[in-house]
Structure formats: structure tokens, C-alpha cells
Structure 1
């Protein structure tokens, strides 16, 4: 127990009471005792014994002996049948190979994370003091403190877990985070990966206010995307295939080429579009304008390194200075100094386009307008959540600046 001071033991018995673990280095040297409560009702239960807070071995070496026994409470039979299995010296919790406790600063974790070691939420008791002292173990709360709002996925399949608090993977962080797990938890964006390597999420809930990245593909039974769809033309990129009908449009249009001499961006129209392909939705009617898009079962495709060159999709808020995006009027607009585009949108990254043509047609009125305006017109509250509809009195963030609505 030089580096790790955690033990886990599988226990099965018929009576609920404390199970005590004693560690020693032989007779007349030293003993340390931790108790954990068994209430498994005759079923196997994983118990954790954490010696971190009461086990300073110092110069006495490391424990060589271990004893396990139940503490018989008043009125309980003095003889009990107890089954013990799978005694494990657990590794300390690590993330991307670094110690969660020692090597990771608060708020520093972002991007794709892989958890290894032990992640527990439970309690145990130091019985070497009177009265006994309770220790709470909550590695999920500790992990939450280390996460930034830019984390995009957490793979916990290689971690040893107990009492998983799935809410701590999302609480006040990125709601678009994808969690890969070996079993299901009652939360959106949790992908259960089976023995065959295929993954399924009961629901996928995304917002364009935060970054998205799926390092591994999976199936989502339902998908909910919070982002505005306006009348006319919208820019999009999605991690799954979609039809124009699903998006409330008559057609979708994908980028084809750019005529540098004529400064015309050429697009091809179609009835549907493949995953991770930047595209435009065409002719969205007034009654199809929405703030939330709902889809049925979708195959989520792993996020590629690139989402286009001239016409670029983004899965994170991106600087749009000098780039062309679709504004609130459905027109192509050049971004100024403070311009940005949100996740699940796209922008045209060419020099001063004169217009856009669809299937070789005459360039349309979807052309450049004045610079120094933002491409994105979204409004957020002070917690970073996107606000839709009529604004109530209060402070909001618009174009990166605080605005007061009276």
C-alpha cells in the first residue's frame, strides 16, 4: 500500500452490520482498522475501505497481514455465515494518466477525458478512535471541481466505480458532454458500450451554446438539439444524417466548389445530408421556425478532425472575424472583430464572395453585406445558457457584451 491506500471487497451475508478490515505488519507492530456498512440483504455488495486518512505507515514498513470480520451488533446471532471475494487494492483515481488528487488543477480539464483507477462515492469509518470517525469518499465531486466548461467527453469504462454520481459529469459544466460507460445511468448523453463495442444512448441532448465532440460513434434513441432555426436559410453541421423534412426545409445544400474568378460559391441541393457535412437548409417556412429540433433514432458518427475547408462546420463557438455566416435575415454576412459562430453552425471561409449559386443557377441574393457585424445573434443569461423568445427584465450577454433589459 505504498501508493494506494484503498481496498475494495465483495461481501455476501444474511445480516446487515459493519464489516471491519484490519491491516497489520505482524505481531506487536501496528494495526489499522476501517469499517464499512453491509446492507446487501444476502446479495453480493462491494464495500470500500479507505485508509488514506488514518494510515500513516511511516518507518514501520507496509502491511503484510489483513483480517476481515463482521462486527456483531446487540441482538444479532453470534455465529454468521459470510462470503468474501475479489479483494482488490484499488488504484487512486486518475484522468488521462494523471492523479486526480495530486496532478490536476481545479477547472483545468477539457476536451476528451479517460478515467482510470477507482472512482467511488461511499462512506467508511475509522474505528481506531472513540467515537468512530466517518469518512465520506466522493471522487465524482472531486472530478467535477477539476472539470472546465470545455470538457467534451468522459470515458469511464476502464475505471473501477461504486455509487456513480452521473450528475457530477455535467453539473455547471458542459451539458453536451458525452459519457461512455459500461452500464446505464438515468441521464441524457450517457452511452452504454456493450461487449461488442457498440454503444447506445437512450437520449442525446445538445445545445449550440457549448462545444461537442464524440470520439466514438454510437446510436441515440432520441436526439434533442437546442438551436434556432429561422425562416429562409440556415447553416448547419450535425453528427448524424438528416433530411430536409426533419429540419423544416424544402431542401438542403452542400458545398461543391468556389469559382475564384467570379467569386461564386457553388452548392448542390438534395433531400438529405450525411453526418458531419456542413450544409444549408433552404426555404424554411414561417411555421417551421423553431428553437428546438427533435429527432428519432440516429446513428451518431465520431467527430472528424476537419469539417470542411471553404465551407466549414463547427462543433464549438468559433471566431468568425472575416468569415461569412448566415445572419438573422438569412443572408451571407461578413463577420467583424467580435463576430463568432456557435456550435452546429457553418461559415464560408473564402475571400469576398460576390454570391452563391445552387446547382449551377444564377447567383442568388444570399450575398455579402457590411462587415463589422456579428454573424451570431444569440442571447445568453449570465450562466451561459441560451435564452429564447421574449426577454424578461435582467442582465444578458449579447455579442460577448452585457446588455440590460428593463
Structure 2
């Protein structure tokens, strides 16, 4: 806020403290609601007096906001006692209207707190406001406590979005009396009485120091209620019913976000004033104290921004000392910018509380005559620290530690997943990212980090800043997307055609995104699990589908950082809201401003996936069916299978690589296999193993169509393909299976070694799902007779 002169400031404050642009009528001035009565049920009880009006259908109360007649959900209840508890003793008389019966009888004027009246409504669906004409309304009984209020033509109604307890407006609507007591055109009238308010002065006191004073209007014969303010914790005050105005001492403790220190061991802080990031800065050239916007993310906080509170007690006396200039702050009053001086000339200050309840951890600095205050006097071009008479927004200070600035800077790099495209050259050097994380954690995890620890982080920050942008390029290929806001991976929702973000999916198949060139530089079609990301709508889920529904996306690559923005550009409507975004965990369309980190992505090359293996008698097994090719397999051997002439045996052939959309059986000895994404060189002549990239529901109607991989329940050492048991509800994504055979099971022939088969009971919801014991620990080799959990269900091996 610019302040021209101290006198003009005081005048402006007087104007700002007026609660309404409209002068209140004398009947409402300095009044509060003393009593709140039951709603009238008969026109015989409708006497001249004050009333609160409730719209029955909307479950809201009429309130005059200036002259506009609004509907407010003051009480989210339909209980009279709740209404009474809210309104009786309330000083907000904008809810109160004065009804006066016309001298001619049968009609009423309805007057609001500004002195103006309900108007004549001449148009249907017109939002109504008070005006100076004393227009008379007909009030008609609908039934119970509900009444219709009618102007010449239209009855009053309530307009709002559909739903209970939503804000709205009073409007004109129907030409007939509403026929339901709970309609939007039904109003209840609650009689109230008003009483003159008294003034209660609350004196917030800490260790016998009055740190804040606030006056409130209150009704006589009510208990005083002190408000809460930043840094203050109320420990007690006299809550006896007041009969007239007076002082109330509010005892408090005060928790400040800084510590006073000595000149021998100064403890420095950045001091922010007002809103935004306006911070005290020592202007050495002019020996003045400026106040400029300073980023909270810096490689290090300059010494010019660092100030120490030199003293022994912040409530009594301290001086402000600047690290860079080794000078103190002197405040010379209103209209004069603070200066930098030697200690002998420095001002002595003490802390006070702020009147701004919303400014968390805010406090004020006073010299006993005025407060330090951010100002930018007209024409001076000198935004800085001046003197001012009130603890307002411009006088409110908050604190940042010097360590927070390099921490904020480092956080832009330290939380980036390993291998992400973009960033700085420094972080591409082996060991540098680890050094950054170690330095960051040493400062972050220490409430009082040492100067050496801070300097280590600052040194790395500066190396990052000056190292230049990464030269790694982006091209068509497989990637994973990590959201900058929640740090989770974009992943398909199993059994659905939408996406969300999920934790710990750095090796999952469903998090691999194929960026397929759309034929023009910088434009791509995106695919997950063989399906295309479709076009994007504002704040709606992005669907996966076939090629005919695909969207075309542009990729805005990082420039010296890791932030990638991905925008669908094949449709024009609300194009600025076509960025890939996360809302409620789901992938939707939204804008991608700097303040929208949920629309920012870290793009990490996808090099491999991991497949969980299931152990059977010393060997581990799994099936796989993938939408991309695999160049090599580690931790297992991969086999394709071809049915023999009699269709009762699957002859297995080992392969070193696997083309996309080919089913394989993995055989190893460990609990995981790692499959590298890349070009497949294997020539697969025949493979009867098929599969799915999305979950397939299994039910009684289609159960006979599949043979799924599992083990022989009668012989735990035998594995093969079997008809799904009644407990198998689905075939998971990326699993291989066989199409139905006349046989109930198919043996596998590994070069003459045939797996025996019989009937089978799979681990409930999929042969290859992980198994856990009752304590939640994963079990690689379940023991016969043991009780285990698979896919959320118990089973006995």
C-alpha cells in the first residue's frame, strides 16, 4: 500500500474502518440481537418489529450485503435451538429486517439495516436489492411456519446452485403462492429484539506487557469473548457476564519465531514485512533500509538481507543489526525512511502483536511511539521501512531463517527422480547428486544447522547454478512421468481406461509411457499399455483408447530445470486447460502456470520393468505379456510355447529377447526378474501363449475360454496352464495365458522334461499375484498347510 502522508494515511484508515459503504439506519446502529423467538405460524402474530427471514427450501437466511439481498447458510441445521444459539447475542444485524404493517392494512414494508426497503419486483428471476421506496408486500400463509412474500406480480424465491446450505440471492419468480411449505418460495419469520451494544476493550498482556489492544462491540448481559491473534496463546481472562463496557485483561504467552541474541554471537534472520515477499534490505550506498521483494529460493541469502535482534528480551528492548553493513536500524518516524547508523544512534524496539489474524507467526516491531511499517511513498521510488501508527498489514513482520533460502533452492533439484531429463550439467556427474542430497539433509534435519553445513549446501547450489543446462535431448521412446507435486508416477488404473498417480511404480509396466512421434517435431502420441491417451477436457479424466481416439501432444521441455509440461494440442476448445495435470490423484486437463506444480512432470527414461516371481519347489515362475519389446532378461529365462499336435502339451522354447505382445513364461530361482526395454532380436516362429495388457474379468460365462498359469494343487512341484477355478475373478494385466483347450490342463515340455498336471486352485485372484503371511510380510515360498493372503483374501496352501 502506498502512503502519501501520515495525515492522509489516518484519513484513509478511518474510511477503511467503516464497515459498510451505506450508513446504517438509527434503529440498527450500535445494536445487537438480544432475543430470538420461534417462527410465527399465523398472520395474527405478525406485529410491527424486527425479524430474521429464512428461506425454507434453500435452508439459508436473508442478509443485506450493502443493498443486495443475499441468502447465507448462517446455520447448517434445521433445528430452532441451533438458530437461537447462533443469532441470540450476535452483533451482525445485517440479518435483521423491520416489518411494519401498512396503515391501509394487509400489506407490509420490509426495511433493512441501511434504512432502505424490499423493492417491487417487475421482472421474473430478478435479483433483488434494497431501495429507498417504501414498497408494500403482501404476506400470505402457506402452512405451518411458511409464508409467501409477494410484490405486485411476483412472489419472492431463493436462487442458488442445487443443494442445501449454499449461498444464493433473493429473486422474484412465481406468480402464484407456493403450494409447499418447504419450497424455495417459502419464508419463515423469526421475531427478534435488539439492544444497544457496549464497548469491551481487550488488553492482551504478556508478562505485564500489553502487547495488543482490541475493542469489540458486545451486548450487555453477555460473556466477553476474546479473539485469537498470531503468536499469542490465551491463558485466561475474566469471562463473567458484562453489564456495561469496560476493560478486560487477556493474559497470554507469546511464542515468537525468532530469538534475541548478543552482538558477540548474533543469530540472523530475514525479516518480511507486509504481504508477498517484501523483505528488509540494507541499502549500503544510501545508508537506508529498503524493503524489496526477495525470492525465498536462492543459492544463499545475501548478508544485506540478514538481521539480528540484539538484546536480552524481545518484550522489553532490542536493536536491529545488519550483517553486511555492521550497522543498526534507526527509525525516524512517519514519512521518513529508516536509516543505518552506529549503535549509539540506533532505535530501541520491543515486539507487539499484529491485528492481522490471518498472518500466521506475524508480529510487529514498535519503538513505543510507532511501528516499523512497509511503505512506498508517492513519487519517492523508495519502498522501504517507515514509521506508522497502527499494527496493520504493512506493520506485520514474519521471519525466515537464512538456511531456508538455500534449502528451497536445493529442493528444486533434490526431489527430482534419478535420471530425469533436463536440469544442470553439474548433476549429471557421478556422485554430485548424492553430495547434494547429503548436504541438503544435513541442513534440513538440523533445527540449528552449523555455518559449515549451510556453507557446504551453498557451495553445491552455486556449482549447480553456474554449471549450465543439461544437453540431454528428448526423442521418441519409452519414459516414466513423475508428478512434481505429489512425486508419484503416472500409472494406468487397473481395470479402467483412465490414469492416476501411484507410489513406488518405478519398475511397473503400467507406468511406462511411449512417446510416439506424430510426424512433426515436438509432437507426440502418448501410449500406456498399448492404448493411446485421448483428447483432453478441462478438469475431466483423460481416457485411454484405440488409435481412432488418440490425442496429439506437445512436450515443453525443461530449460535449465527438470520441469516438463505436456499439452494436448489436437483440439482447440479451452486449449490452455489441456495440460496433463493431477487432481485428486487422477490425470485430468488443467492449466500449467508456475503455480500449478500438479501440471509439471519429471520425465525419466524407462529402461526396464520388474516381474514378481512365484517359487514352486526351488524354482520361481511367472508369465509376462508386454506392450513393448524386451531386449534381455535378468534373473530368469524366458520361454515361448507351442502346442503339440494333440493340444495337450506346450513345447517350450527359450528366447533371449521378446517382441512386443508375445506371451512368455519366466523361469528362475529368485523372487524377481528384470526385463530390459529394447529391441528384440529373437525370431519367434510359433507361440500359442497369448495375453492381455489390461485386466480381463473372468466369470462363469467366459471361464471355460481360458487356461491360466498356476500349480497343481495335488502336487506342489507341478506347474502348468489350467482352467480357472471359481475363485479366480480376473486375469491381471500383462499376464500370458492360453486359449481354451479340450483338456482341463496343459503340461509344459522343457526339452523333454514335462511338468505333470491335475486340477488346480489358484491363489484366488490370479496365479502370479504376491502372497503374504498374516503379519503382512511377503512370502516367496508358502509352506503347505499354512494360512496366507493373496489379492486381499485368505487361503490355505
TM-score range, shorter chain: 0.3 to 0.5
**More strand by proportion, 1 or 2?**
1
TM-score, scaled relative to structure 2 = 0.24
Larger radius of gyration: 2
**More helix by proportion, 1 or 2?**
2
TM-score, scaled relative to structure 1 = 0.41
